[in-house]
Amino acid sequence: MMVRALMALVLALLVVSSGAGAQEAYRLGSGDRVRVLVFGEEDLSGTFNIDGEGRIALPLVGTVTVGGLSAAEAERAIAGRFAEGYLRDPRVAVEVIDRRPFYILGEVRTPGAYPFAEGLTLLGAVAVAGGYTYRADEDDIEVTRGGGAPEVMPAEAVVRPGDVIRVRQRLF
């Protein structure tokens, strides 16, 4: 009886903890590269770059706005366009091939654009950029996300695709 109660407790903890660490779905954006597969229609499938306005240009249906959507939402949007008189019951899959880079500037040795890597922290981004310069204020790292206002974040914060990271100069 005690073993069953213990197993039920462990199972309950696993269920609760699996939802706690769930991440928000990746949102497509300008600079991403995606593969669109239209099942049974090789001529309509291919690899596409998302332009500055968040759109991709597909054969037959023209441009489809996918910026700001998850891959699953983009699949539905694209299938909806093909269903508008072009294909009967289209089945579409969208896969992210390349995520947009992050940018780091300010007091780092090699500022610039770098490829995004899952799980990269701000401190890791600084390391990728060659480390801090001697003038860097290591406690003052600003991050601009999605065109919003810059926010000061700790070095342990996770980098997202498209982030603009700025390491400020210390005063003394």
Same-domain pairing of 109 and 157: yes
| Last residue within a domain, chosen from 49, 71, 98 | 98
Task: State the residue range of the domain holding 82.
Answer: 33-98
Kindly state whether residues 76 and 121 are assigned to the same domain.
no
CB 137 within 8 A of CB 107: yes
92-98 vs 55-58, strand pairing mode:
unpaired
Is residue 93 located within the same domain as residue 46?
Answer: yes
Give residue 23's pLDDT: 55
Kindly state the tokens that stand for 20: 């706690």
- Domain harbouring 43, CATH code: 3.30.1950.10
**CATH number of the domain that residue 130 is part of:** 3.10.560.10
Please tell me whether residues 112 and 69 are part of one structural domain.
Answer: no
What confidence tens digit (pLDDT) does each residue in 107-158 have? 999 999 999 998 999 999 999 999 999 999 998 899 999 888 999 999 999 9
Q: Cβ distance 161 to 33 under 8 Å?
A: no
Number of domains in the chain: 2
Q: 10 Å Cβ neighbour count for 117?
A: 13
165 pLDDT more than 60: yes
Cβ(96)–Cβ(26) under 8 Å? Answer: yes
106 and 145 belong to one structural domain: yes
* CA–CA separation, 86 and 64 (whole Å): 14
Residue 37 shares a structural domain with residue 92: yes
Residue 82 lies in a domain: yes
Whole-number Cα distances in Å, 60 to 78, 81, 83, 110, 114? 11, 10, 11, 43, 34
Answer yes or no: is 17 within a domain.
Answer: no
Look at residue 70 in the predicted model and tell me its pLDDT. Answer: 96
**Which letter, b or e, does each residue of 45-78 get, where b requires 16 or more Cβ atoms within 10 Å of its Cβ?**
beebebeeebbbebeebeebebbebbbeebbeeb
Q: How far apart are CA 124 and CA 108, in angstroms?
A: 12
Structural domain contains residue 39: yes
Strand order in the sheet with 151-153: 112-114, 102-106, 164-169, 136-144, 151-153
Q: Which helix (H) or strand (E) holds 63?
A: strand 62-65
For 53-103, write each residue's pLDDT tens digit: 999 999 999 999 999 999 999 999 999 999 998 999 999 999 999 999 999
Distance between the two ends of the chain, CA-based, in angstroms? 66
In a domain, 81, yes or no: yes
